[in-house]
Amino acid sequence: MINKQEMLKIHNLHVNTNNKEIISGLDLLINRGEIHAIMGKNGSGKSTLAKVISGHPSYQITEGNIFFKNENITYEEPESRSHKGIFLAFQYPIEVPGVSNIDFLRLAYNCKLKKLNKQEIDPLSFFELINDKIQKIDMNPLFLNRHLNEGFSGGEKKKNEILQMSLLKSELSILDEIDSGLDVDALKSISKNIKTFANKDNAILLITHYQKLIDYIQPDYVHIMNKGKIILTGNAKIASNIDKYGYEYVSLKE
Ligand code: ADP
Ligand code: MG
């Protein structure tokens, strides 16, 4: 049997912010080709974990390690993690007035090419590339000329995150509440895009507290997080039990 390649491995992670411990001894292993979901109550530390994996400077790792493709990235800069292939779709994407969406996307794309010692792409060729991507995710091309996320609805911001993910072809994509604020149709469409993007060479970590996304995407593993730790791991069935019985269901299993 071929050994699976470890994409993300987190060992005994402890994280503080403002002298408060938020992640308390978390372990997680995601192999290439897998889709994982993390669920958990508000305040259990899900977004903190997402930010720490991508290198957010406001959080201090006090113990433990994060490995990406067998390389220790615990103390690496966010830029370097991004160039190595980690992408984070924010729970609350930031509006950047004055920066056009297409310029932002092209700069991000060219930064990556540069890091890979490849030639940067000119605006015209980029326009062709991004138009192809935007059509594939059913997004209106008019969004390219708007300012980054400015005045976008919740669903449009999330779609724009998906566009970035597919453009950068990230190997590990962390999608923090990509489903929040979406109506049923938008949720279906985003789920479809995520499923199309997922393949044997990448990995996806979904963070959510709703079952719908899990129903649509059917991740390989579902983890339940509580008080900064993963307390239960199973398949998509866990999510439907939580939907039926609430998070009490998990405390009964502990
Ligand atoms: P979740 O995404 O699971 O709802 P978060 O990771 O956003 O949870 O937050 C976990 C806990 O950490 C919460 O109690 C939150 O208030 C706290 N927290 C997160 N970031 C900060 C911060 N920068 N400063 C202070 N407390 C924070
Ligand atoms: Mg959160």
Task: Give the distance (Å) from ligand 2 centre to CA of residue 229.
Answer: 14
Query: Which candidate, 176, 177, 172, 178, places its Cα nearest to that of 199?
Result: 172
Task: Give the distance (Å) from ligand 2 centre to CA of residue 1.
Answer: 38
Query: Which candidate, 213, 195, 209, 194, places its Cα nearest to that of 242?
Result: 209
DSSP 162-199: HHHHHHHT-SEEEEESTTTT--HHHHHHHHHHHHHH--
Whether the CB of 22 sits within 6 Å of ligand 1: yes
Give me the tens of pLDDT residue by residue for the chain, a chain 254 residues long.
Answer: 556 899 999 999 999 999 999 999 999 999 999 999 999 999 999 999 999 999 999 999 999 999 999 999 999 999 999 999 999 998 889 999 999 999 999 999 999 999 889 999 999 999 999 999 999 998 999 999 999 999 999 889 999 999 999 999 999 999 999 998 888 988 999 999 999 999 999 999 999 988 889 999 999 999 999 999 999 999 888 888 887 878 777 765 55
Task: Give the distance (Å) from ligand 2 centre to CA of residue 195.
Answer: 22
Nearest CA to ligand 1 atom 21: 17
Predicted local distance difference test score (pLDDT) of residue 211: 86
Predicted local distance difference test score (pLDDT) of residue 73: 98
Whether the CB of 19 sits within 6 Å of ligand 1: no
Return the ligand number nearest the Cα of 176: 2
| 235/239 Cα distance (integer angstroms) | 8
Q: 127 with 74: CB under 8 angstroms?
A: no
| 69/76 Cα distance (integer angstroms) | 14
Whether the CB of 17 sits within 6 Å of ligand 1: yes
